[in-house]
């Protein structure tokens, strides 16, 4: 099995290991590489995690014949059917039943004998065989299997292995389906492109509704955005649960709307809820609804967001912020597709396509016992990582024009950017991402002195850009700020130097003046001004005491005591 022990908190170590494995496999499956390479990497990860004799992923064609076979461990013998990764008889059984196949002792099974007789020459006697179907869109696309080492899994139940391998197989199935419908770079495969060229005016989904030709609310031509849109276009027609991940302000709600609009459910409601904005008691009522008199203030019956989204799509934003107690309630609804209103007894069936979004590191949350592993597996079917704005600098000017056009329309103005103004804004790194860029453009447009916006209209040229403090003091990452990483590692500056993107040229600390301070010098200066009191220094640097403490240790600065 994955592992059998429990830590001091009573949490199974297999949970941590399986979460780590799913996370690593998800990253591999998101890579833009040939399918054979991607699947080989997946099997190699499994081999590094599990004590197994060998593992294999077999991809089948429409006639259930293997077209791709990737293995790790002992190479199967030619006697197993032309060098197949696993015997065809087992493949046929998995395909026919659509269910896992478990053989407790593979060395005694006639199905596995041909595959294992010669491979046992390495002195390692195989144990149990576990194979699961690889599915997508209700179709079996292949198989995922492992052969355990004797003495490892044969004396234990196999439920945990089957559950883990099934989750991996689901991720693999979505990747295979994505590669079959679209190229790894987002371009349509020849057969799909030919179909669209043949029927250009009849592009329809399974319900007969015409698909929108353009997602005009998402602006971007950078490779990072195009890759995300390719995944969105591929996953949208399915009912697969999607997990949108990325920093705050990267536009998770807009991409969720794109998935809905490109799906078969687009004529049905698109309902959204920010889970972090409500306490647990209110959140339960908002999602599941309540009956009249269920609690004080419930003066009438009310349908919840799940009911309102029936037949459509439900976006649960900030999913990582819900409490463990409510996670259990949510998991039941996701598993059973049914719920009961607060204060009610009648069970209601719902058909909802779920999209979740978070800027939280869920893997760390699961490892710390803050987020249920079973809920993590349920929502992390197809993870989509949205790129921060600093990774798509070519889109900044394009987005700025869109936001200014929107401002003009709303306010009856006719403002325009001078080329130098667009050059300036394109150099900014915007730790608040697209949301911060829009706010910057609106503020600048509101206070502009003429119909042409010039560099001097921007707050950063007038020592009024509060975001510059973030650039000098945080890294903009999801793992918590650090005093020097954003301005060095991500701004491309030399280690320890301040970023020149956000400072006022009249400031003595601005690199443009030649009086460039290192982060270590800024930290020491703040500590000296505050009498070496970390809390006071933190206020001067606009950081938290924890961040200052981290920076002191990082730079090996000894705190003076008086």
Euclidean distance between CA atoms 550 and 553, whole angstroms: 5
150 close to 111: Cβ distance less than 8 angstroms: no
**Of 414, 287, 458, 447, which Cα lies nearest the Cα of 356?**
287
Check if CATH label 1.10.10 holds for domain 468-554. yes
Give pLDDT tens digits along the chain (562 positions). Answer: 454 443 444 444 555 566 777 877 887 887 767 788 888 888 888 888 877 778 889 998 887 788 888 888 655 444 444 445 678 888 888 888 888 888 887 677 666 654 544 444 444 556 788 999 998 877 889 999 988 876 544 444 577 888 888 888 888 988 888 887 765 444 444 444 443 443 343 334 443 334 444 577 788 888 888 888 888 888 888 888 999 999 989 999 999 999 999 998 989 999 999 988 788 878 888 899 888 877 777 778 888 899 999 999 999 999 999 988 889 889 888 888 888 888 888 888 989 999 999 998 898 888 888 899 889 988 988 899 999 998 898 899 999 999 999 999 999 999 999 999 999 999 888 888 999 999 999 999 999 989 999 999 998 887 777 776 655 544 433 333 333 332 333 333 323 332 333 334 334 334 333 335 677 888 888 888 888 888 888 888 877 777 787 788 778 888 877 5
- pLDDT attached to residue 33: 73
Indicate the class that CATH gives domain 389-465: mainly alpha
Euclidean distance between CA atoms 495 and 54, whole angstroms: 45
- pLDDT attached to residue 493: 31
Pairing of strands 452-453, 289-290: unpaired
Architecture of the structural domain at 218-385: 3-Layer(aba) Sandwich (3.40)
Sign, CA torsion 303/304/308/312: negative
56 sits in which H/E element: strand 52-60
244 close to 256: Cβ distance less than 8 angstroms: yes
Residue 326, classified by CB atoms within 10 Å of its CB into exposed (0-12), middle (13-18) or buried (19+), is middle
Euclidean distance between CA atoms 140 and 444, whole angstroms: 55
**Of 21, 14, 7, 11, which Cα lies nearest the Cα of 363?**
21
Euclidean distance between CA atoms 159 and 1, whole angstroms: 9
Q: H helices then E strands: how many in the chain?
A: 21, 16
Q: With b meaning 16 or more CB within 10 Å and e meaning fewer, what string describes 210-241? A: eeeeebeebbbebebbebbbbbbbbbbbbebb
Residues linked to residue 242 through DSSP beta bridges, in sequence order: 355, 382
- pLDDT attached to residue 475: 41
- pLDDT attached to residue 127: 76
Residue 208, classified by CB atoms within 10 Å of its CB into exposed (0-12), middle (13-18) or buried (19+), is exposed
Which three-class secondary structure state does DSSP give residue 367? helix
CATH number for region 13-181? 3.30.450.40
For the chain, what are the domain ranges?
13-181, 218-385, 389-465, 468-554
**Of 161, 168, 93, 92, which Cα lies nearest the Cα of 128?**
161
Long-range contacts of 12-21 (CB under 8 A, 24+ apart): 14/160, 15/366, 15/373, 16/366, 16/367, 17/49, 18/164, 18/167, 18/373, 19/363, 19/366, 19/367, 19/373, 19/376, 20/363, 20/367, 21/45, 21/46, 21/49, 21/164, 21/168
- pLDDT attached to residue 415: 94
Q: Same CATH topology for 13-181 and 468-554?
A: no
Residue 123, classified by CB atoms within 10 Å of its CB into exposed (0-12), middle (13-18) or buried (19+), is exposed
DSSP assignment of 87-123: -HHHHHHHHHH-S-EEES-GGG-HHHHHHHTTGGGGS
Both tokens of 436, joined, read 């911060």
- Report residue 543: phi and psi, to 5°: -125, 180
Euclidean distance between CA atoms 467 and 87, whole angstroms: 61
């Amino acid at each position: 099995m994955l592992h059998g022990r429990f830590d001091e908190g009573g949490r199974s170590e297999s949970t941590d290991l399986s979460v780590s494995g799913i996370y690593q496999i998800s990253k591999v499956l998101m890579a833009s590489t040939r399918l054979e390479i991607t699947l080989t990497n997946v099997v190699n990860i499994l081999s590094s995690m599990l004590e197994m004799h060998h593992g294999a992923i077999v991809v089948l064609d429409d006639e259930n014949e293997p077209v791709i076979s990737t293995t790790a461990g002992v190479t199967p013998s030619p006697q197993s059917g032309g060098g197949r990764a696993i015997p065809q008889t087992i493949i046929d059984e998995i395909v026919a039943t659509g269910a896992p196949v478990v053989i407790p002792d593979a060395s005694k099974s006639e199905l596995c004998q041909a595959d294992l007789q010669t491979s046992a020459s390495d002195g390692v006697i195989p144990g149990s065989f576990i194979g699961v179907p690889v599915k997508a869109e209700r179709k079996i696309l292949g198989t995922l299997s492992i052969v355990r080492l004797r003495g490892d899994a044969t004396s234990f139940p196999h439920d945990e292995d089957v559950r883990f391998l099934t989750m991996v197989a689901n991720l693999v199935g979505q990747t295979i389906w994505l590669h079959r419908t679209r190229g790894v770079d987002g371009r349509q495969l020849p057969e799909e492109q030919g179909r669209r060229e043949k029927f250009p005016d009849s592009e329809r989904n399974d319900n007969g509704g015409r698909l929108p030709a353009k997602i005009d609310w998402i602006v971007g031509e950078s490779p990072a955005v195009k890759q995300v849109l390719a995944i969105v276009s591929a996953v949208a027609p399915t009912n697969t649960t999607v997990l949108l991940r990325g920093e705050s302000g990267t536009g998770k709600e807009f991409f969720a709307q794109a998935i809905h609009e490109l799906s078969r459910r687009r004529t049905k409601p698109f309902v959204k809820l920010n889970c972090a904005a409500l306490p647990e008691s209110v959140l339960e009522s908002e999602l599941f609804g309540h009956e009249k008199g269920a609690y004080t203030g419930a003066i009438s019956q009310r349908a919840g967001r799940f009911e309102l989204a029936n037949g459509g799509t439900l976006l649960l934003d900030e999913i990582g912020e819900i409490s463990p107690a409510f996670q259990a309630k949510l998991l039941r609804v996701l598993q059973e597709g049914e719920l009961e209103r607060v204060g009610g007894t009648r069970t209601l069936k719902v058909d909802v396509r779920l999209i979740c979004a978070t800027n939280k590191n869920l893997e760390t949350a699961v490892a710390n016992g803050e987020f249920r592993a079973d809920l993590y597996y349920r929502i992390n079917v197809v993870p989509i990582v949205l790129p921060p704005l600093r990774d798509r600098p070519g889109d900044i000017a394009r987005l700025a024009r869109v936001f200014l056009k929107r401002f003009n329309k709303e306010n009856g103005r006719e403002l325009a950017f001078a080329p130098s103004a667009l050059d300036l804004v394109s150099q900014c790194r915007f730790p608040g991402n697209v949301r911060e860029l829009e706010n910057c453009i609106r503020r600048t447009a509101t206070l502009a002195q003429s119909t042409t916006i010039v560099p001097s209209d921007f707050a950063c040229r007038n020592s009024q850009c509060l975001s510059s403090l973030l650039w000098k003091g945080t890294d903009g990452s999801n793992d918590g700020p650090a005093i020097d990483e954003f301005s060095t590692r991500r701004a491309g500056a030399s280690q320890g130097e301040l970023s020149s993107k956000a400072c006022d040229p009249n400031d003595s600390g601005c690199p443009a003046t030649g009086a460039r301070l290192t982060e270590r010098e800024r930290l020491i200066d703040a500590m000296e001004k505050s009498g070496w009191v970390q809390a006071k220094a933190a206020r001067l640097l606009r950081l938290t005491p924890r961040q200052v403490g981290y920076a002191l240790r990082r730079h090996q600065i000894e705190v003076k005591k008086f």
